[in-house]
Structure 1
Amino acid sequence: MDYDTFIDQVARRTRTSADRAAALTTAALETLAERLTGGEVLDLAAQVPRPLQDVLKPSPRTEWAERFGAAEFVARVGQRAGVDENAARDGTRAVFTTLREAITAGEFDDVVSQLPRDYRAMVEPAMAPGAALRNGA
Protein backbone atom coordinates (compact mmCIF):
# COMPACT_ATOMS: atom_id res chain seq x y z
CA MET A 1 0.00 0.00 0.00
CA ASP A 2 1.36 3.45 -0.85
CA TYR A 3 1.22 6.53 1.37
CA ASP A 4 -1.68 8.25 -0.40
CA THR A 5 -3.80 5.11 -0.23
CA PHE A 6 -3.00 4.66 3.46
CA ILE A 7 -4.05 8.23 4.27
CA ASP A 8 -7.14 7.96 2.06
CA GLN A 9 -8.23 4.81 3.92
CA VAL A 10 -7.79 6.53 7.30
CA ALA A 11 -9.69 9.58 6.00
CA ARG A 12 -12.59 7.42 4.82
CA ARG A 13 -12.74 5.46 8.04
CA THR A 14 -12.74 8.61 10.15
CA ARG A 15 -14.90 10.59 7.71
CA THR A 16 -12.43 13.46 7.79
CA SER A 17 -10.05 15.33 5.50
CA ALA A 18 -6.79 13.94 4.20
CA ASP A 19 -4.90 16.52 6.27
CA ARG A 20 -6.63 15.43 9.48
CA ALA A 21 -6.11 11.76 8.53
CA ALA A 22 -2.40 12.39 7.98
CA ALA A 23 -2.14 14.09 11.39
CA LEU A 24 -3.98 11.21 13.07
CA THR A 25 -1.81 8.64 11.29
CA THR A 26 1.42 10.37 12.27
CA ALA A 27 0.25 10.81 15.86
CA ALA A 28 -0.88 7.18 16.18
CA LEU A 29 2.32 5.77 14.67
CA GLU A 30 4.56 8.01 16.80
CA THR A 31 2.70 6.84 19.87
CA LEU A 32 2.83 3.21 18.75
CA ALA A 33 6.60 3.54 18.26
CA GLU A 34 6.89 4.59 21.91
CA ARG A 35 4.85 1.56 23.02
CA LEU A 36 6.84 -1.04 21.02
CA THR A 37 10.38 -2.30 21.49
CA GLY A 38 12.97 -0.78 19.16
CA GLY A 39 13.37 -3.99 17.17
CA GLU A 40 9.64 -4.25 16.57
CA VAL A 41 9.51 -0.61 15.50
CA LEU A 42 12.19 -1.37 12.87
CA ASP A 43 10.28 -4.43 11.67
CA LEU A 44 7.09 -2.40 11.35
CA ALA A 45 8.84 0.50 9.62
CA ALA A 46 10.13 -1.87 6.95
CA GLN A 47 6.54 -2.60 5.88
CA VAL A 48 4.84 0.80 5.88
CA PRO A 49 4.92 3.39 3.07
CA ARG A 50 8.15 5.42 2.89
CA PRO A 51 6.87 8.71 4.42
CA LEU A 52 5.57 6.78 7.44
CA GLN A 53 8.91 5.04 7.96
CA ASP A 54 10.38 8.30 9.23
CA VAL A 55 7.73 8.39 11.97
CA LEU A 56 8.78 4.91 13.08
CA LYS A 57 12.48 5.53 13.64
CA PRO A 58 13.52 4.19 17.04
CA SER A 59 16.05 6.13 19.06
CA PRO A 60 18.33 4.77 21.78
CA ARG A 61 15.73 5.84 24.36
CA THR A 62 13.02 3.82 22.58
CA GLU A 63 14.87 0.49 22.56
CA TRP A 64 12.64 -0.49 25.46
CA ALA A 65 8.91 -0.13 25.12
CA GLU A 66 7.26 2.45 27.33
CA ARG A 67 4.55 0.95 29.51
CA PHE A 68 1.27 2.80 29.17
CA GLY A 69 -2.32 1.74 28.69
CA ALA A 70 -4.89 2.41 26.00
CA ALA A 71 -6.26 5.56 27.67
CA GLU A 72 -2.77 7.12 27.72
CA PHE A 73 -2.25 6.01 24.10
CA VAL A 74 -5.43 7.83 23.04
CA ALA A 75 -4.48 10.90 25.09
CA ARG A 76 -1.06 11.07 23.39
CA VAL A 77 -2.61 10.68 19.94
CA GLY A 78 -5.13 13.43 20.70
CA GLN A 79 -2.45 15.79 21.97
CA ARG A 80 -0.19 15.18 18.97
CA ALA A 81 -2.98 15.46 16.41
CA GLY A 82 -4.75 18.33 18.15
CA VAL A 83 -8.07 16.49 18.45
CA ASP A 84 -10.40 15.51 21.28
CA GLU A 85 -10.49 12.08 22.89
CA ASN A 86 -13.28 10.68 20.70
CA ALA A 87 -11.56 11.76 17.48
CA ALA A 88 -8.27 10.36 18.76
CA ARG A 89 -9.90 7.02 19.62
CA ASP A 90 -11.66 6.79 16.24
CA GLY A 91 -8.48 7.81 14.45
CA THR A 92 -6.43 5.23 16.30
CA ARG A 93 -8.89 2.48 15.36
CA ALA A 94 -8.77 3.64 11.72
CA VAL A 95 -4.97 3.63 11.72
CA PHE A 96 -4.83 0.12 13.22
CA THR A 97 -7.33 -1.16 10.65
CA THR A 98 -5.41 0.43 7.78
CA LEU A 99 -2.12 -0.79 9.20
CA ARG A 100 -3.53 -4.32 9.28
CA GLU A 101 -4.20 -4.06 5.54
CA ALA A 102 -0.82 -2.49 4.75
CA ILE A 103 1.48 -4.99 6.47
CA THR A 104 1.73 -8.76 6.70
CA ALA A 105 -0.53 -10.62 9.10
CA GLY A 106 2.52 -11.92 10.94
CA GLU A 107 3.91 -8.44 11.49
CA PHE A 108 0.54 -7.13 12.66
CA ASP A 109 0.33 -10.03 15.12
CA ASP A 110 3.84 -9.19 16.38
CA VAL A 111 2.78 -5.57 16.97
CA VAL A 112 -0.43 -6.56 18.74
CA SER A 113 1.41 -9.08 20.93
CA GLN A 114 3.28 -6.18 22.56
CA LEU A 115 0.08 -4.38 23.55
CA PRO A 116 -1.80 -5.14 26.79
CA ARG A 117 -5.39 -6.30 26.94
CA ASP A 118 -6.86 -2.85 27.42
CA TYR A 119 -5.95 -2.07 23.79
CA ARG A 120 -8.44 -4.65 22.52
CA ALA A 121 -11.22 -2.14 21.80
CA MET A 122 -8.86 -0.32 19.42
CA VAL A 123 -7.16 -3.33 17.88
CA GLU A 124 -9.80 -6.05 17.61
CA PRO A 125 -11.91 -4.23 14.99
CA ALA A 126 -8.84 -4.37 12.73
CA MET A 127 -8.51 -8.11 13.26
CA ALA A 128 -12.13 -9.05 12.63
CA PRO A 129 -12.96 -10.80 9.36
CA GLY A 130 -14.36 -8.27 6.89
CA ALA A 131 -13.11 -5.29 8.90
CA ALA A 132 -12.19 -3.42 5.74
CA LEU A 133 -15.68 -3.84 4.33
CA ARG A 134 -17.40 -2.67 7.52
CA ASN A 135 -15.15 0.36 7.77
CA GLY A 136 -15.88 1.67 4.31
CA ALA A 137 -12.83 0.47 2.42
Structure 2
Amino acid sequence: MNYDTFVDQVAQRTATSSSRAVELIRATLETLAERLTGGEVLDLAVQLPAPLRLPMRPTPDIEAAERFGAAEFVARVALRAGVGEPAARDAVRAVFTTLREAVTGGEFDELVVQLPRDYRDMVEPALAPGATLRRG
Protein backbone atom coordinates (compact mmCIF):
# COMPACT_ATOMS: atom_id res chain seq x y z
CA MET A 1 0.00 0.00 0.00
CA ASN A 2 1.41 3.40 -0.89
CA TYR A 3 1.49 6.41 1.41
CA ASP A 4 -1.40 8.32 -0.19
CA THR A 5 -3.67 5.28 -0.05
CA PHE A 6 -2.79 4.67 3.61
CA VAL A 7 -3.59 8.29 4.48
CA ASP A 8 -6.80 8.25 2.40
CA GLN A 9 -8.01 5.07 4.12
CA VAL A 10 -7.44 6.53 7.59
CA ALA A 11 -9.03 9.85 6.57
CA GLN A 12 -12.13 8.05 5.31
CA ARG A 13 -12.36 5.79 8.35
CA THR A 14 -12.07 8.75 10.74
CA ALA A 15 -14.10 11.18 8.59
CA THR A 16 -11.28 13.74 8.73
CA SER A 17 -9.09 15.60 6.26
CA SER A 18 -5.93 14.04 4.89
CA SER A 19 -3.77 16.46 6.89
CA ARG A 20 -5.58 15.52 10.11
CA ALA A 21 -5.28 11.83 9.22
CA VAL A 22 -1.49 12.25 8.89
CA GLU A 23 -1.37 13.65 12.45
CA LEU A 24 -3.50 10.78 13.77
CA ILE A 25 -1.37 8.19 11.97
CA ARG A 26 1.86 9.69 13.29
CA ALA A 27 0.53 9.81 16.87
CA THR A 28 -0.67 6.21 16.68
CA LEU A 29 2.53 4.86 15.13
CA GLU A 30 4.75 6.70 17.62
CA THR A 31 2.73 5.25 20.48
CA LEU A 32 2.74 1.79 18.92
CA ALA A 33 6.54 1.98 18.58
CA GLU A 34 6.76 2.57 22.34
CA ARG A 35 4.51 -0.42 23.05
CA LEU A 36 6.27 -3.00 20.81
CA THR A 37 9.72 -4.51 21.08
CA GLY A 38 12.34 -2.84 18.89
CA GLY A 39 12.57 -5.89 16.63
CA GLU A 40 8.83 -5.97 16.04
CA VAL A 41 8.84 -2.23 15.34
CA LEU A 42 11.49 -2.73 12.66
CA ASP A 43 9.65 -5.72 11.16
CA LEU A 44 6.51 -3.61 10.87
CA ALA A 45 8.25 -0.43 9.69
CA VAL A 46 9.93 -2.08 6.70
CA GLN A 47 6.51 -2.92 5.29
CA LEU A 48 5.19 0.63 5.57
CA PRO A 49 5.54 3.43 3.01
CA ALA A 50 8.71 5.43 3.62
CA PRO A 51 7.03 8.52 5.19
CA LEU A 52 5.42 6.27 7.82
CA ARG A 53 8.69 4.64 8.87
CA LEU A 54 10.04 7.66 10.72
CA PRO A 55 7.59 7.53 13.65
CA MET A 56 8.31 3.79 13.89
CA ARG A 57 12.06 4.19 14.23
CA PRO A 58 13.09 2.70 17.59
CA THR A 59 15.91 4.27 19.54
CA PRO A 60 18.64 2.05 21.03
CA ASP A 61 17.42 2.67 24.59
CA ILE A 62 13.90 1.35 23.88
CA GLU A 63 14.58 -2.13 22.53
CA ALA A 64 12.23 -3.45 25.22
CA ALA A 65 8.54 -2.69 24.91
CA GLU A 66 6.96 -0.33 27.40
CA ARG A 67 4.14 -2.05 29.25
CA PHE A 68 0.98 0.03 29.22
CA GLY A 69 -2.65 -0.79 28.65
CA ALA A 70 -5.15 0.34 26.06
CA ALA A 71 -6.36 3.32 28.10
CA GLU A 72 -2.80 4.67 28.33
CA PHE A 73 -2.27 3.98 24.61
CA VAL A 74 -5.36 6.05 23.74
CA ALA A 75 -4.33 8.80 26.19
CA ARG A 76 -0.88 9.06 24.57
CA VAL A 77 -2.37 9.19 21.07
CA ALA A 78 -4.87 11.86 22.20
CA LEU A 79 -2.08 13.97 23.70
CA ARG A 80 0.19 13.63 20.66
CA ALA A 81 -2.59 14.36 18.17
CA GLY A 82 -4.30 17.07 20.21
CA VAL A 83 -7.69 15.34 20.18
CA GLY A 84 -10.07 13.98 22.78
CA GLU A 85 -9.85 10.36 23.84
CA PRO A 86 -12.98 9.23 21.91
CA ALA A 87 -11.47 10.63 18.68
CA ALA A 88 -8.12 9.06 19.54
CA ARG A 89 -9.75 5.65 20.09
CA ASP A 90 -11.47 5.92 16.69
CA ALA A 91 -8.16 6.92 15.10
CA VAL A 92 -6.34 3.97 16.64
CA ARG A 93 -8.98 1.59 15.30
CA ALA A 94 -8.70 3.18 11.84
CA VAL A 95 -4.90 2.99 11.82
CA PHE A 96 -4.90 -0.63 13.04
CA THR A 97 -7.39 -1.61 10.32
CA THR A 98 -5.30 0.14 7.68
CA LEU A 99 -2.09 -1.41 9.02
CA ARG A 100 -3.63 -4.86 8.70
CA GLU A 101 -4.34 -4.14 5.04
CA ALA A 102 -0.89 -2.65 4.41
CA VAL A 103 1.36 -5.37 5.82
CA THR A 104 1.87 -8.95 4.70
CA GLY A 105 3.13 -12.25 5.98
CA GLY A 106 1.22 -12.30 9.23
CA GLU A 107 3.04 -9.22 10.50
CA PHE A 108 -0.16 -7.71 11.87
CA ASP A 109 -0.92 -10.92 13.79
CA GLU A 110 2.59 -10.80 15.28
CA LEU A 111 1.91 -7.24 16.38
CA VAL A 112 -1.44 -8.18 17.95
CA VAL A 113 0.04 -10.96 20.09
CA GLN A 114 2.29 -8.40 21.79
CA LEU A 115 -0.72 -6.41 22.97
CA PRO A 116 -2.65 -7.33 26.13
CA ARG A 117 -6.28 -8.33 26.13
CA ASP A 118 -7.57 -4.83 26.97
CA TYR A 119 -6.57 -3.72 23.44
CA ARG A 120 -9.19 -6.08 22.00
CA ASP A 121 -11.87 -3.46 21.23
CA MET A 122 -9.32 -1.47 19.20
CA VAL A 123 -7.75 -4.43 17.41
CA GLU A 124 -10.74 -6.69 16.74
CA PRO A 125 -12.35 -4.36 14.18
CA ALA A 126 -9.16 -4.74 12.15
CA LEU A 127 -9.39 -8.52 12.34
CA ALA A 128 -13.10 -8.76 11.51
CA PRO A 129 -14.20 -9.96 8.10
CA GLY A 130 -15.25 -7.01 5.99
CA ALA A 131 -12.92 -4.61 7.81
CA THR A 132 -11.45 -3.64 4.48
CA LEU A 133 -12.78 -0.32 3.30
CA ARG A 134 -14.68 -0.73 0.11
CA ARG A 135 -14.34 2.05 -2.41
CA GLY A 136 -17.50 2.90 -4.29
Q: TM-score, normalised by structure 1?
A: 0.96
The amino acid that maps onto 1:63 is E
Task: Return the offset for 1:105.
Answer: 4.9
Query: Within the alignment, does 1:93 sit opposite 2:101 as a pair?
Result: no
- Matched residue of 1:132: which SS? coil
Distance 1:112 1:123 in 2: 7
Note the 1:1-137 alignment, pairs <5 A: 1-133=1-133, 137=135
* Equivalent-residue separation in structure 2 for 1:61 and 1:125 (angstroms): 32
Spell out structure 1 runs of 4+ moving beyond 4 A: none
Code of the aligned partner of 1:7: V
Q: Quick one: which amino acid aligns to residue 44 of structure 1?
A: L
Give the AA of the match of 2:64: W
Identity of aligned residues (%): 71
Distance in 1 of aligned mates of 2:61 and 2:34: 9
User: Aligned partners of 1:118, 1:67: CA distance in 2, in Å?
Assistant: 12
* TM-score (norm. length: structure 2): 0.96
Q: Distance in 2 between matches of 1:60 and 1:120?
A: 29
Structure 2, unmatched stretches of 5+, are none
Q: Please list every run of 5 or more consecutive structure 1 residues that lacks an aligned counterpart in the other structure.
A: none
Find the aligned partners of 2:110 and 2:53 in 1 and give their Cα distance: 17
